[in-house]
């Protein structure tokens, strides 16, 4: 039996007939990408950590832009920012992680909080110590999806800052702040 899923089978999803990338390949790519960037960027100060963040966020940004371009080409334009964020929470998250965001909150002043209680890329992560140590070591892995969300929003006409945090794996919270 193969380790790769057949992603071209018919389902209720409007994207079901399109060829998608194997989940296993994406998981392994993310691990190697983050590991390579962390190894090749010497972390001696806070500025070095920012350089790693910038590299991973930039890669995610490009991926997010391309994904949205591909999956929204046949959709009508969104009416407002809330509709764009709902698209990210429902459609884009389903494409990427096979589930919707668990919780979306907004203050209706340009701040949106997306909570994923079982973030797929954290499902198999752990350390010997666990808890805060695991969350700290998982931090570089949330910079890439922050870039994906920011790139997707930018391609839909919404400029934003996206930050994420995790205190208890596999839970992850993304905060989107709309910038003018």
Peptide bond into 83 cis (omega under 30): no
Q: Give the pLDDT score at 53.
A: 87
**Residue 8 pLDDT exceeds 70:** no
pLDDT tens column, 131-154: 777 777 888 889 999 999 999 999
| Strand, coil or helix: 23 | helix
In whole angstroms, give the CA distance from residue 33 to residue 93: 21
pLDDT of residue 20: 66
pTM (two decimals): 0.81
In tens, the pLDDT along 81-105 reads 999 999 999 999 998 888 999 999 9
Q: Which residue has the tokens 């997306």?
A: 114
Averaged pLDDT for residues 48-73: 90
> Above 60 in pLDDT, residue 17?
no
> Does the pLDDT of residue 11 top 50, yes or no?
no
Q: Which has the closest alpha carbon to 63: 37, 92, 24?
A: 92
Q: 178 pairs with which residues across the strands?
A: 160
pLDDT grade for 31, boundaries at 50, 70 and 90:
confident
Q: What are the C-alpha distances in Å from 58 to residues 50, 93, 107, 113, 148?
A: 12, 19, 27, 21, 9
Q: For 75-139, where are the alpha helices, taking DSSP H only?
A: 81-87, 93-97, 132-138
DSSP SS3 for 62 = helix
Q: Which pLDDT score is estimated for 14? A: 53
SS3 173: strand
What token pair was written down for 19? 């060829």
Q: Rounded to an integer, what distance in angstroms lies between the CA atom of residue 53 and that of residue 47? A: 10
Asked whether the beta carbons of 143 and 96 are under 8 A apart, the reply is: no
Question: What is the spatial distance between Cα 174 and Cα 16, in angstroms, rounded to a whole number?
Answer: 27
């Amino acid at each position: 039996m193969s380790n790769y899923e057949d992603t071209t089978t018919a389902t209720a999803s409007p994207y079901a007939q399109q060829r998608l990338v194997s989940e296993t390949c994406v998981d392994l790519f993310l691990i190697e990408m983050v590991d390579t960037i962390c190894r090749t960027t010497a972390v001696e100060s806070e500025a070095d950590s920012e350089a790693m963040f910038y590299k991973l966020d930039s890669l995610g940004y490009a991926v997010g832009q391309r994904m949205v371009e591909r999956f929204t080409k046949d959709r009508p334009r969104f009416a407002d920012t809330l509709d764009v964020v709902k698209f990210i929470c429902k459609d884009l998250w389903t494409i990427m992680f096979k589930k919707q965001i668990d919780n979306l909150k907004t203050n209706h002043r340009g701040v949106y909080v997306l909570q994923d209680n079982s973030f797929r890329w954290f499902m198999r992560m752990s350390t010997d110590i666990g808890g805060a140590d695991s969350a700290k070591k998982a931090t570089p892995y949330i910079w890439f999806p922050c870039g994906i969300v920011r790139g997707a929003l930018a391609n839909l006409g919404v400029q934003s800052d996206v930050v994420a945090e995790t205190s208890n794996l596999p839970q992850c919270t993304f905060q989107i702040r709309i910038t003018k």
